[in-house]
Copies of this chain bind each other. A is one copy, B any other.
Amino acid sequence: MNGEFDLIARLRSLAESEGVAGLAAGDRVALASGDDAAVTVPKGATATSVDAVVEGVHFDLATAPPRAVGGKAIASALSDLAAMGAEPGEAYVIVGIPEDLTDDDLLEVGGGLVDVAREYDVAILGGDVTRAPVLWLGVTVVGHAGDAAELVGRAGAQVGDALAVTGTVGGAAAGLELLERPELAEALDDASAAGLRRRQLEPSPRLAAGRALASSGVRAMIDVSDGVGADAAHLASAGGVRVEIVLECLPLEPGVERSGLDPLELAAGGGEDYELLAAIPPGRLDAARDAVATAGTTLTEIGRVLRGTGAVLRGKDGAERSPQGFDQLGRSRAGSARA
């Protein structure tokens, strides 16, 4: 390690060479990285979210490559903007660096951040680096919309709404199991196993689908970070309604059924799929499905909004399961939740 200022210069140079350091980020950015603060001139409303990941809590460098750690940190933060229907704009990154992390690994972490920022046209405008006992990242992301009414919160689901989810679920949790217990892959073909690991290591925030849903008149939206069951419970609580999910309707990631694990438990309780869960008036469901298809993914109806409180996962046989999710102060491996 050659000292902090040299390291910052190398990280900034990496971001600049990839065009994500803000200077090329368009007319919203007035002053980028390197000053006391970055200056932007937002047009309309902004949505801001912060997300932190900690080595040994959210990831393990024995199973997650450093590049994936950096990429996933910003991707999971951007997923919160997707859940608002916001257009991603800027990011600010804190990196805590342990003594034993090599410079090469650190630059891989930075490379992962930059890859994802470039993919979604996000300008990394500032940050802070510090020594820390383990590797950790704190990412603040700022998204934009013409005005606040275009953004979709968690509250607003109404009795009678359909509940729908983008893409597929269960893959991220299955991928984590495969990373931790490689022998599970024997039940799968190589492509399926690789696909599941990728769902865990390289999540894709559903930014285009989120904007498509917001424009389709969805009433409430949340991203699936804690698990479909737990996140449905958040929607229910914010809206003062009850949410019922039909387990067999959950769109499973390919391979999840053959992984030897309980597919419904992975799908409903696993978390980290970073899909979007939305409450949609039934009359708008077809239009929403078309809009999401244009954004490159699918939308599957998985349940409905009822009178009452809480969320319930119901099997076709009528049996209920209560939502499972991650509570990161209680479990050793867990996502993060908003304060």
Binding site for B on A (CB under 8 A): 1, 3-5, 7-8, 11-12, 30-31, 33-42, 44-54, 56-58, 80-81, 83-84, 86, 90, 92-97, 125-134, 136, 138, 140-143, 147-148, 151, 153-155, 221-223, 238, 327-330, 332, 334, 336-339
- Give CA–CA (A140, B91) in the complex, Å: 11
| Chain B positions within 8 Å of A148 at CB level | 30-31, 39, 41
CA distance A58 to B95 in the complex (A): 14
Q: Which of B4, B8, B50, B337 is in CB contact (< 8 Å) with A5?
A: B337
Known A39-B84, A41-B147, A47-B37; contact A58-B339, beta-carbon cutoff 8 A = no
Question: Which 8 residue pairs across A and B have the least CB separation, nearest first?
Answer: A127-B339, A138-B138, A30-B148, A37-B47, A37-B49, A4-B329, A36-B83, A36-B80
Q: How far is the CA of A63 from the CA of B253 in the complex (A)?
A: 51
Given contacts A50-B92, A129-B329, A339-B126, contact A41 B40 (CB under 8 A): no
Complex CA–CA separation, A320 to B3 (angstroms): 24
* Residue numbers in B under 8 Å from A33 (CB-CB): 338-339
In the complex, chain B residues whose CB is within 8 Å of the CB of A92: 48-50, 140
Additional A-B contacts beyond A3-B329, A50-B93, A129-B336 (11; CB < 8 A): A1-B329, A34-B238, A37-B84, A37-B151, A50-B92, A52-B94, A52-B130, A94-B138, A126-B339, A131-B329, A138-B138
Bound-state CA distance A329–B37 (Å) is 21
In the assembled complex, the CB of A235 is this many whole angstroms from the nearest CB of chain B, namely 11
Q: Which of B96, B127, B147, B332 contacts A136 (CB 8 A)?
A: B96
What are 19 of the A-B contact pairs (CB < 8 Å)?
A7-B329, A30-B151, A34-B238, A36-B80, A37-B47, A37-B49, A37-B86, A37-B143, A42-B46, A48-B140, A50-B140, A52-B94, A95-B339, A97-B329, A127-B339, A128-B336, A128-B339, A131-B334, A138-B138
Do A36 and B84 touch across chains, with their CB atoms under 8 A apart? yes
Q: What is the count of identical protomers in the complex?
A: 2
Nearest CB of B to A118, in Å: 17
Contacts of A336 in B (CB 8 A): 128-130
- Measured CB to CB, the nearest residue on chain B to A80 is B36
- Complex contact B36–A223 (CB within 8 A): yes
Docked pose: A338 CA to B338 CA in angstroms:
25
Considering only CB atoms, which chain B residue lies closest to A57 in the complex?
A: B131
Q: A8-B339, A93-B339, A148-B31 are in contact. Are A48 and B38 (CB under 8 A)?
A: yes
A69 to chain B, nearest CB (A): 15
Residues B81 and A37 in contact, CB atoms below 8 Å apart: yes
B11 and A339 within 8 A (CB): yes
Please report the C-alpha to C-alpha distance between residue A143 and residue B70 in the assembled complex, in whole angstroms. Answer: 27
Q: Are B35 and A328 in contact (CB under 8 A)?
A: no
